[in-house]
Amino acid sequence: MHIVLLLAMLASGDTLTGRVTDQSGQPVALATVEIAELGTRVTTTADGAFQFSIPSGTYTLTVTHAGFAPASRAIVVHGTTTLDVRLAVSPFALEPVTITATRQPIALDLSPLPVASLSGPGLHREQGVSLAHVLEALPGLRTLSTGAQIGKPVIRGLAGSRVVVMENGSRLEDYSWSDEDGPSIETGFVRRVEVIRGPASVLYGTDAVGGVVNVISEPLPFASDRTSSFMRTGFTLSGASNNLELGGAARAEGARGSFGWRVAATGRYGSNLHTPAGELDNTGFGALNGEGSAGWRGEKGSLAVRVVHYGGEFKLLEANAAPGEAGGPARKLGDDRLVLNADRPVGSWRLEAKGQFQRHRLIEISDSATTESEAFNLLLQTASLDLLAHHTRGDALRGTIGLSGLLQANNASGRIPLVPDANLATGGAFAFEQLTTGKWSLLAGARVDARRLHADRDSTLSVSDQTRRYNTWSADAGIVIHPVEPVALHVNVGRAWRAPTLFELFAHGPHIGEARYEQGDSTLRAETSRSLDVGLRVAGSRVRAEISGYHNRLPSYIYITPTAQVIDSLPVYRYAQADAELIGAELSFDVELYRSLVGRMNFDVVRGTNLTAHEPLPLVPPRRGGIGIEWRDRIGIDVEGYARQNRPNPLDTQTAGYTLVHVTGGSEVRLLGRVMRLDIALRNALNTRYRSFLSRYKAFALDPGRNLIVRLSTGDVD
């Protein structure tokens, strides 16, 4: 009945009007004005005016324009509401709000957790087939890479099942224990990416021990009134020199009254990678991704449906391949999702429902000189539902109450056994509140989760039919203080958790990629985390800076360790638990040097220790620092320095430190009667020979050399 009402109510709502000016009172034309909760946006007219027709309720309004600092306002719309906004001149291109930090829009300077985002020209230049590689330049983020086409985000030294990856607030499920199964998200469809650096289990449940990555798509278009309609198109063409990569994306979207729609497709092809020492065999890829979505918005709320496909074939470099040998192993990935979203304003509340069905398939093909065979075939099917109730009362009080549930089935086949067939059921409930008064903002939240895992009998893996249950809680409390403008101090403490993966519990066989025999432990407990995060932000019109320090204690950290056994000529490694901690800091600093010429500096470091074994944790990123300079998003140069990891784990392969130079440029051009954006990036401009400490190929291959990337885009695709 509720869906019928949403589809039926297509009438216009109340009216919000206003005007955008600069500090001298002059109108700002072509500024983007958006209602963050609805994803509705307009541009200001020549006299700076804007107008919305939206349902009554409490919203967050944001205003952005190149050359000005973004602005955000909490507003209450009832009847005809008027709001004027003044923008201050600033050279920094920033997002005005974050959605991920509290599950509803708030100003960035009110978040007690460090939040980073990537959007606009910076995101356009970094777009690629791997989401993790796109995000690597953000503070505290690295990439656990398998070549240039597969990557897993590393946040403050934690990766895999310790990092939650979402798209538009719905979490993605995959085989997170596999280093060759990266997030199944097409970056060409992305409007911005938000990252929480630090535990966030209160809002997102299990696995958010290291942090959260939320990929946010463009909102659906809607017409200004019931009778008008429009359609528009856009495209992107791109190429990269290193692996002769070619890419193309096309999008068409339109609206008629309160009905909006969009279809989009992206294709990418890359050949073998090249290093300063030569070509790497069997490192190419091909990917074809697409989506279609439609939605309705009316006086009583909105309803949207979205269908997404992500898939491709990704070649894998062999450590012991014969020189000149044709072919090699490959990973075939197919990810299909059906997503339903609905929301309805009710007074000062906004009710939101997110439902998703995901079908994730991962296949490894072993390719020898004469035959090709299927090593394993994994199918993960997941149905999830989130019911959220958001409330906002002006600028003072906001919060979210939520229920979430997940049902999942894992089916494994192929000649190499990896994990047993299993079924999973998870449910959780949480409440999260934030109070802002004067110079103080207080935050607190709590959550309870119940999880049931049933594994089927598998004699090959020596797994008996069994059921495991995890019942645990999460909590979070923080404070943000503004002693003087534009300075903010933030402190946050929290407890997070994650359940052991199927591989950690039940692995019992060879892991050829790691040249070892792995054994799980079905008695592993849930991994918990107790964290403290402190920081200082400065958000001035000419200077922006943030420094954060953190301590993350994991008393039941799950890790893998060698034993004295050997099976089938492979050393045996076994999963275990220990007391561990991660301590680190991040620094970013941006300053306007002269008339839109911006200088920047960044630094991050993390130290991970297994306190039980008295040794460093494996694959903890080494120190990184960088400096750069940029003029108006048109031309820039960055120098990144990576130190040698001076605290390697005994299982780590050590690599030397190195320095990379990157050059970027971009500008608007007019071709074929359309305004287009031309972006150019030269990665590793000096063709430096190096091996990343987080590269899966570091023991037998260099990382890629110089790479020239050219991207031409127009319309809503860019």
> What is the value of pTM for the model shown?
0.92
Tell me the mean pLDDT in the region 94-118.
87
Tell me the pLDDT band of 323, cut-offs 50, 70 and 90. Answer: low
Is the predicted pLDDT of residue 298 greater than 50, yes or no? yes
Q: Is 81 helix (H, G, I), strand (E, B) or coil?
A: strand
The amino acid occupying position 276 is P
- Asked if residues 181 and 86 have their Cβ atoms less than 8 Å apart, the reply is no
The residue among 648 and 182 whose pLDDT is bigger is: 648
* Each residue's pLDDT tens digit, 216-245: 998 898 887 777 899 999 999 999 999 999
Q: What is the distance between the alpha carbons of residues 13 and 347, in angstroms, rounded to a whole number?
A: 14
* Each residue's pLDDT tens digit, 565-606: 998 888 899 999 999 999 999 999 999 999 889 999 999 999
Residue ranges with strand state E in 131-210: 141-146, 150-155, 163-167, 170-171, 190-197
All structural domains of the chain, each given as residue ranges with its CATH number in brackets, are 1-89 (2.60.40.1120), 214-218+230-273+281-717 (2.40.170.20)
3-state DSSP of 658-707: EEEEEEEEEEEEEECCEEEEEEEEEECCCCCCCCCCCECCCCCCCCCCCE
Listed residue (214, 207, 104) closest to 445, CA to CA: 104
Listed residue (399, 309, 384, 323) closest to 353, CA to CA: 384
Quick one: pLDDT at residue 513? 57
Give strand pairing partners of 712.
Answer: 237, 678
Strand 570-594 and strand 516-519: pairing?
parallel
Is the predicted pLDDT of residue 48 greater than 50, yes or no? yes
* Each residue's pLDDT tens digit, 155-200: 999 998 999 999 999 999 988 776 677 888 888 878 899 999 999 9
The amino acid occupying position 8 is A
pLDDT-wise least confident of 196-205, 503-512, 618-627: 503-512
Question: Is it true that the peptide bond before 486 is cis, omega within 30 degrees of 0?
Answer: yes
Q: Is 61 helix (H, G, I), strand (E, B) or coil?
A: strand
Distances (CA, A) of 551 to 154, 444, 582, 616: 16, 19, 6, 15
Sign for the pseudo-dihedral over CA of 493, 406, 160, 333:
negative
The proportion of the chain whose per-residue pLDDT surpasses 70, expressed as a percent, equals 95
* Each residue's pLDDT tens digit, 526-551: 999 999 999 999 998 899 999 999 99
pLDDT-wise least confident of 124-138, 251-265, 428-442, 610-624: 124-138
Tell me the mean pLDDT in the region 24-28.
92
Is the predicted pLDDT of residue 12 greater than 50, yes or no? no
Residue ranges with strand state E in 368-456: 372-393, 397-413, 422-437, 440-455
Residue ranges with strand state E in 316-348: 330-346
Highest mean pLDDT among 51-55, 448-452, 457-461: 448-452
Highest mean pLDDT among 24-28, 54-58, 182-186, 337-341: 337-341
Quick one: pLDDT at residue 10? 37
Is the predicted pLDDT of residue 11 greater than 50, yes or no? no
Give strand pairing partners of 535.
Answer: 490, 548
Quick one: pLDDT at residue 524? 94
Distances (CA, A) of 604 to 155, 527, 624: 11, 25, 6
Structure tokens at 227: 């009778």
Tell me the pLDDT band of 369, cut-offs 50, 70 and 90. Answer: low
Tell me the mean pLDDT in the region 686-700.
94
The residue among 502 and 417 whose pLDDT is bigger is: 502
Tell me the pLDDT band of 7, cut-offs 50, 70 and 90. Answer: very low
Structure tokens at 709: 């990337």
Residue 322 is given by DSSP the state P
Tell me the mean pLDDT in the region 477-505.
94
Q: Percent helix, strand and coil across the chain, each rounded to 5? A: 5, 60, 35
The residue among 76 and 199 whose pLDDT is bigger is: 199
Tell me the pLDDT band of 470, cut-offs 50, 70 and 90. Answer: very high
Exposed/middle/buried for residue 227 (C-beta within 10 Å: 0-12, 13-18, 19+): exposed
Output the DSSP codes for 369-390.
Answer: SS-EEEEEEEEEEEEEEEEEEE
Output the DSSP codes for 276-290.
Answer: TTEE-TT--EEEEEE
Tell me the mean pLDDT in the region 2-27.
68
Tell me the pLDDT band of 626, cut-offs 50, 70 and 90. Answer: very high
Tell me the mean pLDDT in the region 668-678.
83
Quick one: pLDDT at residue 586? 97
Listed residue (388, 343, 404, 348) closest to 3, CA to CA: 343
Average pLDDT in the chain: 89
Residues in the chain: 718
